[in-house]
């Protein structure tokens, strides 16, 4: 029987934070936009979103995808546009309501069991204001938060995974890593982490798998 892994590291946007795709309907209503104007399907209907298919295939960086959507949003809403403008428009309301309950439960249970817990993200500060990030109170969920947009190193660069493991005081081989992007999962596996893909259209199975691997 395989021994449980010693640490949990999760990507933030998608596995923990609801995706922008899940927030467009509410944003349209709040902004007075016609239904369907922010019709970005992403993983929920990739056949209708060729650019998202390019992201999944590694042909387009996720940052570039959202930069394009931010410019598109500016034209629709009649504002300056841009990624951070789009994210500010989408991510309104109580921060806790924007986080997946299953992810929060996994992270809290891991910490309660004495497992180191980290967040490894590429774009938290690139996409959101410091005030909004502070409102998430991530220090209550994770021992370490490593943001590639702050460190200047982005997944799937092997250095960022090793940095996260090092800050948690564990080996990469002892980490269960969750992410929703295939290229980032491959990067984690390359440094020896146990990579668990998160399907944001049905995340419960992924969190269940992480619980098995960590012995929770």
Q: Model pTM?
A: 0.92
Distance CA 53, CA 57 (A): 6
Name residue, tokens 């668990």.
196
Per-residue pLDDT of the chain (216 residues; tens, 9 = 90+): 455 668 999 999 999 999 999 999 999 999 999 999 998 999 999 999 999 999 988 899 999 999 999 999 999 999 988 999 999 999 998 888 999 999 999 999 999 999 999 999 999 999 999 999 999 999 999 999 999 999 999 999 999 999 999 999 999 999 999 999 999 999 999 999 999 999 999 999 999 999 999 998
Distance CA 118, CA 12 (A): 10
Structure tokens at 202: 């049905």
Query: In this structure, are strands 117-121 and 194-197 parallel, antiparallel, or unpaired?
Result: unpaired
Return the SS3 of 49: coil
Q: Among 77, 87, 182, which residue's Cα sits nearest to residue 125? A: 87
Name residue, tokens 């982490």.
193
């Amino acid at each position: 029987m395989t021994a449980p892994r010693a640490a949990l590291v999760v990507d933030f946007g998608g596995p923990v934070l609801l995706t922008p795709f899940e927030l467009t309907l509410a944003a349209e209503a709040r902004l007075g936009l016609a239904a369907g104007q922010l019709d970005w399907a992403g993983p929920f209907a990739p056949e209708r979103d060729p650019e998202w298919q390019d992201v999944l295939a590694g042909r387009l960086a996720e940052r570039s995808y959202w930069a394009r959507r931010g410019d598109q949003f500016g034209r629709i809403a009649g504002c300056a546009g841009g990624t951070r403008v789009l994210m500010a428009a989408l991510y309104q309301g109580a921060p806790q309501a924007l986080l997946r309950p299953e992810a929060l439960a996994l992270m809290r249970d891991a910490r309660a069991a004495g497992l180191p817990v980290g967040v490894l993200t590429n774009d938290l500060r690139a996409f959101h204001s410091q005030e909004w990030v502070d409102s998430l109170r991530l220090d209550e969920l994770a021992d370490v938060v490593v943001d590639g947009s702050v460190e200047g190193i982005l997944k799937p660069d092997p250095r960022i995974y090793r940095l996260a493991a090092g800050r948690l005081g564990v080996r990469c081989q002892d980490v269960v890593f969750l992410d929703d992007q295939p290229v980032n999962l491959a990067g984690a596996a390359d440094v020896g982490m146990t990579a668990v893909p998160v399907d944001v259209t049905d995340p419960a199975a992924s969190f269940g798998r992480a619980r098995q691997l960590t012995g929770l």
